[in-house]
Amino acid sequence: MSTRKYLTAAVVIAVLGVAHVFAWETTEVSPGALVDGWRGMARFLAEALPPDLDWDAVVRPGLEACLTTLAIGLLGTTLSVPAALLFAVLGTRGRHQVVYQVSRSVMSFLRAVPDVVFALIFVTAVGLGPFAGVLALICHNVGVLGKLWSEAMDEVDPGPTDALRVSGAREPQVIANAVLPAVVPALIGLLLYRFDVNVRSSLVLGLVGAGGVGFLINQSIQLFEFDQMATYILMVLVLVVAVDLLSAGIRRRLT
Amino acid sequence: MENGLSVKGLRKSFGDRAVLNGVDFSVGAGELVVLLGANGSGKSTALRCVVGLAEADEGVVSVAGRELRGLTGAELARARRAAAMVFQQIHLVRRRNVIDNVCAGGLAGLPLSRSLTPALFPKDLRERAMACLDRVGLADRAKDRAGSLSGGQQQRVAIARALCQGAKVLLADEPVSALDPAAATQVMELLRELARNDGLAVAAVLHQPDLARRHADRVLGLLHGEIRFSTRGSDLSDVDIDALYAPDRAVAV
Ligand SMILES: Nc1ncnc2c1ncn2[C@@H]1O[C@H](COP(=O)(O)OP(=O)(O)O)[C@@H](O)[C@H]1O
Ligand SMILES: [Mg+2]
């Protein structure tokens, strides 16, 4: 018994070791290149500091772009709610097997395709700009939020539901007075969490042309305006921290 | 069994596993009957069949003088409403306050427009719920969150919810198994009062023979899906108890 355990452990360690060697080779990890490159990094930093705080050329457009980023994240989250809810409900355990499998598969597919890929697709469809970002977030978020909601619904304790059924309450009454009170706080918490993630995703989407402050960062790098980039990154930092604090604060009050 | 519960020939299988093999018992109005039996002997299944949480394969159930067989739809629901159930896990909505939980027992008679959220519950339902809460001695906790009460208090709130349902028959599935001895005694005394003073027919599943001796008018022993004995609570003997729990030991060896 214990020899077999050791044998298993040895095999696992060996496999992990081989995997890491292989990964090291494939990703061309080269500490030497990093060391050699320090000069470039230093120059980059020197140019980035101090950040360019010119109001008309940098700060105001930056703030406007931050608002766009926030707006992309907001709409990408809100507009995905109806479809996410539908797939979540259809994907809870106890549904008809076919319905369950189909909705789980749709959600898995939407989750598996990264939002950046959706963004690239929509940029070719509707052109560069925030709208492509919104569409991309909706697609990916339906998959993720649907799955999270589905699991939250599966976890609802059926006890209070039973208690109300026994009292003769009709189905809508049972849902309104036993299921929803148990599940809504969890659903809202997950929604806020996704809003938080989506605002951060919308930054990345900006890098591939979907507008917002990510787009400005990309532009400033391509123009070698590293001090402008530094300003934008500071703004992003503030934005991300603010959204995170907001959503965490609300979630805390929900429980 | 004018206002009580009567069960005859109740049978239930899950797949090819027979759980109830013809269970007969009755509980009169004003009577507290305790069901004893080893785990898996079918106690919960029997109670769930009575209230419709499980569907019996065979058997005749009458609740408060009405035979359920042959009834359908709204009529069946109305007849069933005379039986309420409380559970070991209590099953309150913990985030809602106590009075809203009690009100939830009385939703059946309401139109949807008055029942989808507590703010819409009508005044007479609230008054009735308050009276039920007072009956279990917790009127002063009406506005507290249900989850903030102790286990024993929560179980009494669940009983108040059952009263608000207007039940004549009260089934309790291990109502005190999760409670400390003091709270357990308090809940059992409440159940007995509800039988004696309010004329309810009360059937409670217990695992403590002592509580059964102290509180039960009658004790039923359930073994392998059949009623093995029926005796007055004060007459319950250790031989009776062994007959219920010993066979398992014999099988286990
Ligand atoms: N929904 C169900 N599906 C399958 N088997 C069940 C179900 N409910 C109960 N059983 C089985 O029926 C038997 C009796 O269960 P139960 O009535 O809960 O016993 P008790 O309450 O006396 O402990 C057990 O063997 C249990 O596994
Ligand atoms: Mg049980």
CATH value at residue A247: 1.10.3720.10
Ligand nearest, relative to CA of residue B41: 1
Are both A188 and A90 inside the same structural domain? yes
Of A87, A188, A190, A191, the residue nearest A143 (C-alpha): A87
Of B119, B122, B163, the residue nearest B139 (C-alpha): B163
Of B145, B101, B251, the residue nearest A167 (C-alpha): B101
**A163 to chain B: which residues are within 8 Å by CB?**
85-87, 91-92, 104, 158, 161
Instruction: For residue B43, give the ligand 1 atom closest to its CA.
Output: 22
Given a contact cutoff of 8 angstroms between Cβ atoms, the answer to whether A27 and A33 are in contact is no
Nearest residue, CB atoms, A169 vs list B53, B83, B107: B107
Nearest residue, CB atoms, B108 vs list A169, A172, A178: A169
Instruction: For residue B41, give the ligand 1 atom closest to its CA.
Output: 22
| Pocket mutation for ligand 1, best pick of B17, B19, B85, B174 (most atoms within 8 Å of C-beta) | B19
Residue A44 maps to a domain: no
B34: exposed, middle or buried (C-beta count within 10 Å: 0-12, 13-18, 19+)? buried
Are both A10 and A108 inside the same structural domain? no
Give, as residue ranges, everything with CB less than 5 Å from ion ligand 2: B 44
Are both A15 and A84 inside the same structural domain? no
Q: Mind telling me how many Å the CA of B82 is from chain A's nearest CA?
A: 8
Q: Write down the pLDDT at residue A35.
A: 83
Tell me, yes or no, if the pTM score tops 0.90.
no
* Ligand 1 contacts CB of residue B55 (under 6 A): no
pLDDT, one tens digit per residue, over B8-40 is: 999 999 999 999 999 999 999 999 999 999 999
**A160 to chain B: which residues are within 8 Å by CB?**
91-93
Q: Write down the pLDDT at residue A51.
A: 78
Ligand nearest, relative to CA of residue B46: 1
Q: Whose CA is nearest to atom 18 of ligand 1?
A: B44
Please give the order of strands across the beta sheet that includes B32-36. B83-87, B169-173, B201-205, B32-36, B218-223, B226-232
Which of A248-252, B156-160, B237-241 has the highest mean predicted lDDT (pLDDT)? Answer: B156-160
Buried b (16+ CB within 10 A) or exposed e, A79-88: bbbebbbebb
Are both A128 and A167 inside the same structural domain? yes
A185 → chain B, closest CA residue: B95
Given a contact cutoff of 8 angstroms between Cβ atoms, the answer to whether B110 and B125 are in contact is yes
Ligand 2 midpoint to CA B28 (Å): 23
Residue B222 has pLDDT above 90, yes or no: yes
**A182 to chain B: which residues are within 8 Å by CB?**
93, 95
- Report how many domains make up chain A: 2
**B90 to chain A: which residues are within 8 Å by CB?**
159
How far, CA to CA in Å, does A107 sit from each of A72, A81, A111, B109, B111?
Answer: 21, 13, 6, 40, 37
> Cβ–Cβ of B112/A159 closer than 8 Å?
no
Cis peptide before B181 (omega within 30 of 0): no
How far, CA to CA in Å, does A225 sit from each of A58, A214, A219?
Answer: 11, 14, 9
Residue A95 maps to a domain: yes
Residue A174 maps to a domain: yes
pLDDT, one tens digit per residue, over B49-72 is: 999 999 999 999 999 989 888 888
Residues 6+ apart with CB under 8 A from A41: none
* Ligand 1 contacts CB of residue B12 (under 6 A): no
Given a contact cutoff of 8 angstroms between Cβ atoms, the answer to whether A184 and B95 are in contact is no
The pairing of beta strand B58-63 with beta strand B66-67: antiparallel
Q: SS3 breakdown of chain A: % helix, strand, coil, rounded to 5?
A: 85, 0, 15
**A255 to chain B: which residues are within 8 Å by CB?**
none
Residue A198 maps to a domain: yes
What ipTM goes with this model?
Answer: 0.89
Are both A205 and A96 inside the same structural domain? yes
Residue A204 maps to a domain: yes
Are both A9 and A59 inside the same structural domain? no
CA distance B27 to A16: 66
Residue A136 maps to a domain: yes
The pairing of beta strand B58-63 with beta strand B169-173: unpaired
Of A72, A64, A110, A58, the residue nearest A205 (C-alpha): A72
Residue A97 maps to a domain: yes
Q: Write down the pLDDT at residue A49.
A: 80
End-to-end CA distance of chain A: 46
Average pLDDT value over all residues in chain B: 92
Q: Write down the pLDDT at residue B119.
A: 93
**B108 to chain A: which residues are within 8 Å by CB?**
167-170, 173
* Ligand 1 contacts CB of residue B165 (under 6 A): no
Domain that holds residue A19: 3-38
pLDDT, one tens digit per residue, over A7-56 is: 999 999 999 999 999 999 998 888 888 888 888 778 878 877 887 777 87
Are both A138 and A82 inside the same structural domain? yes
Residue A45 maps to a domain: no
**Low-confidence residues in chain A, pLDDT < 50:** none
* Ligand 1 contacts CB of residue B43 (under 6 A): yes
Are both A118 and A155 inside the same structural domain? yes
Are both A115 and A207 inside the same structural domain? yes
The pairing of beta strand B5-14 with beta strand B66-67: unpaired
pLDDT, one tens digit per residue, over B90-114 is: 999 998 999 999 999 999 989 999 9
Q: Mind telling me how many Å the CA of A178 is from chain B's nearest CA?
A: 7
Q: Whose CA is nearest to atom 8 of ligand 1?
A: B45
Q: Is B32 helix (H, G, I), strand (E, B) or coil?
A: strand
Ligand nearest, relative to CA of residue B45: 1
A255 → chain B, closest CA residue: B95
Are both A135 and A219 inside the same structural domain? yes
* Ligand 1 contacts CB of residue B44 (under 6 A): yes
Q: Whose CA is nearest to atom 13 of ligand 1?
A: B40
Q: Write down the pLDDT at residue B252.
A: 46
Are both A236 and A135 inside the same structural domain? yes
Q: Write down the pLDDT at residue A194.
A: 93
Residue B248 has pLDDT above 60, yes or no: no
Other C-beta atoms closer than 10 Å to the C-beta of A96 total 9
B159 → chain A, closest CA residue: A163
Residue B132 has pLDDT above 60, yes or no: yes
A71 versus B247: the higher-pLDDT residue is A71
Ligand nearest, relative to CA of residue B10: 1
Are both A243 and A215 inside the same structural domain? yes
